A = this chain, B = another copy of it.
Amino acid sequence: MKPMRIALLGLGSVGRGVAKVLANPEYGFVITAAADSKSGAVAPLGATLDMCEVFARKNATGKCGDSAWSAERIVREAEYDILVEVSPTNAQTGEPALSNIRAALMRGKHVVTSNKGPISIAYPELSAVAKEHNAGLMFEGTVAGAVPIMNGLRHGLAGNRVNALFGVLNGTCNYILTRMEEEGLTYQQALLEASDLGYAEADPSADVNGTDAAIKLVILANTMLGMNVTLDEVVRVGIDGMTADALMMAGKTGHTIRLIASIHPDKRQLEVSPRLIHKEHPLVVDGTLNAVTVDTELAGPVTFIGRGAGSVETASAVLADLIALKERYGDK
């Protein structure tokens, strides 16, 4: 089977993970173009990029390649089979990723992304464009990192109606709540600890106010549950008002408090809020882990647990998508 050619947009943590993973030739992919927000590198026709060199150049000069090759130009002009879009999420507009993904699909190129913006904002449109151009559009890495929840819902539980979905979808919040519970820390102490360990962003507000989890719910609802909802419809309560006392009280009856994201498709209810949950429930996971329980018609409740973030972990989700595309579209 001929290697499939990848244009990689985004050379941050996830992009580095993807490049590292795909360096293994057994997977059968080569990177022929790559771009960060400032520049791009394109291999001569028939050749592949040396990604070590690309990252070395980026580290040394701040630019991975030539300013003449923007991400946008690569999408439209470079030679590749699959666009891997792993640039940072813009939750408001989805740009520039949204336009780049759309343009790739319109060229009939397949797309794999871990970028929540475009999928949460424009999935109905993007999936229609993909279908029209017979291109694959995959996004396992957008929700719950390495946890194969999309694949589980679409294939593992194929044929099951989902009555409800419950998720712990934000590792930062779960870490903070775990530490408040275990050590009696205040919210501020636990947040500071999360920041020190690199588990919280410089501006953690979208995490702690429930927006990040809500975006992931919108993605799951629209892509997997046949809904068509927007972020505005998700009821959101964050964890920033949480007290160690509340967690202690919960503990007295064998419960704890976790930021639970839920979807009830029949009632069109989407909610992210701190909820009391029994400590033995499978959704009660430690630290930065993510977990999703799907309550299904035939299989009953099924839970998936794993790492919700991380460079190589998210790359693992991208890789599974790439392999699925290769099995479906790669020439054999």
A residues lining the B interface (CB < 8 Å): 21, 27, 140, 146-148, 151-152, 155-160, 280, 282, 284-286, 296, 298-307, 310, 312-313, 315-317, 319-320, 322-324
Contact A159:B319 (CB < 8 A) given known A151-B151, A282-B282, A282-B305: yes
Report which residue of A160, A317, A322 has the largest number of chain B beta carbons within 10 angstroms of its beta carbon. A160
With A and B bound together, what is the CA distance between A157 and B157 in angstroms? 15
Q: Which residue of B lies closest to A312 (CB)?
A: B298
Return 15 A-B CB contacts under 8 Å, by A number.
A21-B159, A146-B299, A147-B299, A148-B155, A148-B156, A151-B151, A158-B323, A158-B324, A159-B320, A160-B319, A298-B319, A300-B310, A303-B304, A304-B305, A305-B305
Q: Which residue of B lies closest to A317 (CB)?
A: B299
With A and B bound together, what is the CA distance between A159 and B146 in angstroms? 12
Partner of A316, one of B140, B148, B298, B324: B298
B residues within 8 A CB of A296?
Answer: 316
Q: Once the chains bind, are B146 and A298 in contact (CB under 8 Å)?
A: yes
Q: Once the chains bind, are A316 and B152 in contact (CB under 8 Å)?
A: no
With A and B bound together, what is the CA distance between A306 and B324 in angstroms? 25
Partner of A282, one of B155, B285, B324: B285
The 6 closest A-B pairs by CB, nearest first: A148-B156, A146-B299, A298-B316, A151-B156, A302-B306, A299-B316
Q: Once the chains bind, are A155 and B157 in contact (CB under 8 Å)?
A: no
With A and B bound together, what is the CA distance between A21 and B299 in angstroms? 11
- The minimal Cβ–Cβ distance linking A106 to chain B, given in whole angstroms, is 24
B residues within 8 A CB of A156?
Answer: 140, 148, 151-152, 155-156, 320
- The minimal Cβ–Cβ distance linking A23 to chain B, given in whole angstroms, is 12
B residues within 8 A CB of A148?
Answer: 152, 155-157, 299, 302
- The minimal Cβ–Cβ distance linking A210 to chain B, given in whole angstroms, is 24
Q: Once the chains bind, are B151 and A155 in contact (CB under 8 Å)?
A: yes
